[in-house]
Structure 1
Amino acid sequence: MKIHRSIGIASAAFALALLLAACGGGTSAESTGHGDEAGHAEGEHAETGHAEIEAAKEGAHGGRLLEQDGYAVELAIAEDGTPPRYQAWLYRDGEPLPPTAGSVEVQLTRLGNAIEKHALKPQADGSLMAGSVVGEPHSFDVVVIATIDGKPRHWSYGSYEGRTVIPAKIAVESGIRVATAGAGTIADEHEVQGLLTPVEGRVAQVMARFPGPIRSLRANVGDRVRAGQPLATIESNLSLSDYTVAAPIAGVVLARNASVGAVAGEGSALFEIADLSQLWVDLHIFGADAQHIRPGVPVLVTRMSDGATAKTTLERVLPGTATASQSTVARATIVNDDGLWRPGSAVKARITVAQQPGKVVVPLAALQGFRDSDVVFVRVGDIYEARPVELGQRDATQVEILSGIEPGDQVVVEQSYLIKADVEKSGASHDH
């Protein structure tokens, strides 16, 4: 499988390798005992008939050959056009035996100590075949219990794939983070763009009551003013006395339309003030999308200048159509506590039309492509293992997992590509 990595990903994977080397440990199959099953046999048990497997041998059908005292079981996972199942053949002194000459059971212990048992039954083709399917990943400790000619035989070995070991300290230093898989909500979202505008009723024009020359101006564009604060002094042409013009509301000066010495006309606007503590977000919705969007749904607004976000609720869908863009305008209100949301600025937003619950939901960052499958990496202790998963619905940040992991599993949600790189470096095989 061809693997494409950015320079940043390659650098991070290299940094992980350096950290592992500095700690005197490796994560290859040889150093961790979690590589291909061919070199990872258990030591010989004390009970009679339990043989040590020093090296994997291949039988006549391409399976693993397990031998002891002249008897042998050849074990393989058959999956040519069928779901994977264990298949076995029996031998005595190198010669095939009929499948009725014995019995075979395969016991698997997966990461996390989940145990499976696969009983094999005689078949017409001369083999024994399990009726149960061997689910992915094919990564487990294997115990084979056989009886041949009435004599018990017992083998055990490790058969691992997609697995690696990373000490906790190194994982922390590498930024690897896990989270508990559990229920969540997948959102049906629409991406739209919009424009920030002042809230109607929160903009005021500061007017001259009587015509006359302007004697002083006490505010500039951008100044924050309070309600009742004096902003200008004008000499009335009628009374020839000065009067003060004050701010009618608290807010920010958006415009100053006068200068000292100029003559203010009656009713002329000297300043424009707006209360910008809240702003309208007018979102432009095109085509059939407008039929699915209703007031009351959640909206996440993103500020383009720095990526800051604000959560709000859609308040209304305006009855008309924007003339220039021929779009429907949906309106929400955001709080502008930091003052950095500015009227006239373009923003983008995600409108959540519907929400669907999921039994198991993980962040999109947890997903990796591995051997033509979508996988997430599950951690048990210091061991990380790829788990092929079936995907359901997704939104902009997370995805539903239909099968492959269970609620409560510890899933890598940050730097999962480092785990993938380390597993690929180990070269662990898919031993069928």
Structure 2
Amino acid sequence: MNKSTNTIALAIALALTLLLAACGGERSAEAGHAHDAGDEHGQAEEARKGAHGGRVLEQSGYRVELAIAEAGMPPRYQAWLYRGDAPLAATTGSVEVRLRRLDGASERHVLTPRPDGSLIATSIVGEPHSFDVEVLATIEGKALRWSYPSYEGRTRIAEATARTSGIRVAPAAAGMIADEHEVQGLLTPVEGRQAKVAARFPGPVRALRANLGDRVRAGQPLATIESNLSLSAYTVTSPIDGVVLARNAAVGDVAAEGASLFEIADLSRLWVDLHIFGADAQHIRPGVPVRVTRLSDGVSVDTQLERVLPNTATASQSTVARATLDNADGLWRPGSAVQARITVAQQPAALVVPLSALQTFRDWDVVFIRVGDTFEVRPLELGQRDGQRVEVLSGLKPGDQVVVEQSYLIKADIEKSGASHDH
């Protein structure tokens, strides 16, 4: 199934899910704190906002307004206490917020009084602000409790729909970040594996037994020539195993002594001459890994540099580095241009993800993780990168199931649901 079909399949499935949600079914995505709902009995209700823009929690004649303060500081919980509509001093009560995230991780944030009349936590609420919340408060000796979901950057997609749409996950793990150089190259026959087949004595060509492109074996008859000296026919054979690259005679031609009749080359191995420009040449050394890619179909093979030639290519003024590759199937053709990635050095990284997993979300670099049928955003701090992967400094832990293919579909579904950051 191609990408376009996959996208259509997912769009249909998600549209059906949203339709069910509109009729009272489960939501396709819970992308923002504006979707938060639920009191201590689990009954859905619209979140009420207080004077400070926080969520109002009310019970037994008391209120707690709870917000995440972010202005001029890292995000942390802040609360204000009330008896009915009357504000109370922060010292008349206590507040504790307990969070449980999608992956099961739990957090505890204890708020303490401050001079402005609010209570605030010293612990930071990490992104994303997506979790199940339990609030425990005591006001004037009265114990209170609330619980509700507060989700953002989150969506649910059934496993079958995700699989059909080509969404694939892989665990975050340690890896290597490579210092790589992208270069162009040309395939050429290996020197010493070519032969020219010549007439030993002058005379007319009576028969030719090989054509351009034929594979021949050492000792295989290629031509019959009638000698002008002895007037007897003699056979010309192939000196090596190989492929006929050129046939320079036709039946009836008069072959001169030493004239080339055929050119044969053993193409089971080929040279890859890679052209390196400027200062890059100073970093290239024999023995480093090389990945060579065919332009015709994108197939790649791994080999290594054997040598850096001492001379500069006259036409391009480039340094030529040479590798050898196996061509047992004959699909690599002399004279063809190739692309290559030379790995100069590799640096281990504790955690890496493929570049295909990265998306932008708000002003973050993110990936999406999967837990069951739920997908959720993970803002990342990134380190070094190469042409295939990037180092993750924070935001993930080893084993997290990261969306590595079709991650843009997850982003699109979350954004479609109206992602917000309303605390």
| TM-score bin, normalised by smaller chain | over 0.9
Q: 2:18 & 2:406 partners in 1: Cα distance?
A: 22
| 2:116 pairs with one of 118, 125, 134 | 125
- Taking a change above 3 Å as real, the CA distance of residues 430 and 404 of structure 1, as seen in their structure-2 partners, is same
Of 253, 256, 265 in structure 1, the residue corresponding to residue 247 of structure 2 is 256
Which residue in 2 is equivalent to 1:377?
A: 368
Q: For the residues of structure 1 that align with 2:120 and 2:364, how far apart are their CA atoms? A: 26
Matched with 1:4 is none
Alignment of 1:19 with 2:25, yes or no, is no
| TM-score normalized by the length of structure 2 | 0.94
Q: Which residue number in structure 1 is paired with residue 399 of structure 2?
A: 408
1:199 is aligned to 2:190 = yes
Structure 2 gap ranges (5+): none
Letter in 1 for 2:368: F
1:31 aligned to 2:27? yes
Structure 2 matches for 1:3-402, cutoff 5 A? 12-21=6-15, 31-32=27-28, 34-42=30-38, 44-45=40-41, 54-402=45-393
TM-superposition CA deviations, 1:389-421 (whole Å, max 9, x none): 111111112211111111011111111111111
Q: Is the 8 A contact 1:33 1:40 kept in 2?
A: no
For residues 266 and 32 of structure 1, what CA distance do their matches in structure 2 show? 83
| Structure 1 alignment gaps of length 5 or more | 1-7, 46-50
Runs of 4 or more above 4 Å deviation: 8-14, 21-30
Paired AA for residue 40 in structure 2: E
The 1-side partners of 2:180 and 2:49 are apart by 53
In the superposition, the TM-score normalised over structure 1's length comes to: 0.93
Measured in 1, the distance between the counterparts of 2:217 and 2:28 equals 69
Cα shift at 1:24: 8.4
Aligned to 1:5: none
Contact 1:159 1:431 in 2 (8 A): no
State the 1:30 CA deviation: 6.3
CA displacement at 1:117 relative to structure 2? 0.5
Once the two structures are TM-superposed, the CA of residue 337 in structure 1 deviates from its matched residue by: 2.4
Alpha-carbon separation, structure 2, partners of 1:90 and 1:125: 12
Deviation at 1:20, TM superposition (A): 3.6
Cα gap change, 1:370 to 1:24, in 2 (>3 Å):
closer
Contact 1:27 1:426 in 2 (8 A): no
Measured at CA, do residues 13 and 101 of structure 1 come closer, stay the same or move farther in structure 2, by a change above 3 Å?
Answer: farther
Q: CA deviation at 1:15?
A: 3.0
User: Quick check: 1:230–1:246 contact (8 Å CA) kept in 2?
Assistant: yes
How many residue pairs match? The answer is 420
Provide the rounded CA distance (Å) in 2 between the counterparts of 1:103 and 1:24.
Answer: 40
Letter in 2 for 1:16: L
Q: Give the 3-state SS of the residue equivalent to 1:354 in structure 2.
A: strand
Q: Go from structure 1 to structure 2 and tell me whether the alpha carbon gap of 1:82 and 1:43 turns closer, same or farther (over 3 Å shift).
A: closer
Mark the CA change 1:127 to 1:44 in structure 2 (over 3 Å): closer, same or farther.
closer
**CA distance in 1 between partners of 2:156 and 2:408 (Å):** 15
Alpha-carbon offset, residue 22 of structure 1: 5.0
Contact 1:214–1:234 (Cα < 8 Å) also in 2? yes
